[in-house]
Structure 1
Amino acid sequence: MEQTLKKLVAVILLAAGLAVSAAPVLAASPLVENAKNNCVVGEQADGYLGVVTGADASEALRREVRDINQQRKAAYANLARRNGVTIEVTAALTAEKLMNQAGPGQCVRLESGEWVKR
């Protein structure tokens, strides 16, 4: 019971401080921001960026998405370690925030795998 309570408190603290702690990693380049605005790239329920199914993404854009996702994974690992939770919990909390912040015309990928345009 005490272990569960500790994890719950860690998750709450993680959620509260996540936006500030991970902000530099979550920032995207103009290339990625443009792709997000054109529904070529979108936020996914797993906390990572993805190329929208059927979208025409250049190799440079795909490389940028991979780089951002690697940076996110490192940030998630660091936050998870500090808060005593898994990387997946950290990524999921971040994903929820990022998906909720998606603007009109941007796409997000739901847990079901379906891409939805906002």
Structure 2
Amino acid sequence: MKKRLWTLAAALMLPLAAFAMTLDQAKSQGLLGEQPDGFLGVVKATPDAVALAQEINQKRRDAYLSIARKNGISLEQVAALAGQKAIERTAKGEYIKTPEGQWVKK
């Protein structure tokens, strides 16, 4: 009985984010896509997708800024390079944004 209570207590302590959508899920469902500017874009807006994009984009911005400062270059330069690499790594069937601003499936 104690073991069950501990298991239940542990499960209740898990952060709610653990139950939220993952980036891979959002991309495979066509909700989010990679952009040339190095940040995620919202292809189809749902509350979970928008929240996930905001969270990940903030983390990306922080990482890009750190890299830019260490290398004496602009955040935009780092983000553009990261965007190029992210688009190259995007799986077939997932969305990418063209330089013209159109969402297309890779």
Taking structure 2 as the reference length, the TM-score comes to 0.76
Give structure 2 stretches of 5+ with no counterpart.
1-19
- Percent sequence identity over matched residues? 37
Q: Please identify runs of 4+ aligned residues in structure 1 that moved more than 3 A.
A: none
Q: Is the 8 A contact 2:33 2:95 kept in 1?
A: yes
- Structure whose alpha-carbon radius of gyration is higher: 2
Distance in 2, Cα, partners of 1:71 & 1:81: 16
On the 8 A contact 2:42/2:49 being kept in 1, the answer is no
Q: More relative contact order in 1 or in 2 (CA 8 Å, sep 6+)?
A: 1
Q: Report the counterpart of residue 36 of structure 1 in structure 2.
A: 27
Alpha-carbon separation, structure 1, partners of 2:68 and 2:98: 23
Tell me the secondary structure at the aligned position of residue 22 of structure 2: helix
C-alpha distance in structure 2 between counterparts of 1:49 and 1:60, whole Å = 14
Alignment check: 8 A CA contact 2:31 2:49 kept: no
Contact 1:46 1:111 survives alignment (8 Å): no
- Tell me the CA shift for residue 30 of structure 1: 5.1
Q: Within 5 Å, which residues of 2 pair with 1:1-118?
A: 31-52=22-43, 55=44, 57-118=45-106
| Cα contact 2:21–2:52 (8 A) shared by 1 | no
SS at match of 2:104: strand
Aligned length: 87
Q: How big is the alpha-carbon RMSD for the aligned residues of Structure 1 and Structure 2?
A: 1.4
Task: Show the counterpart of 1:26.
Answer: none
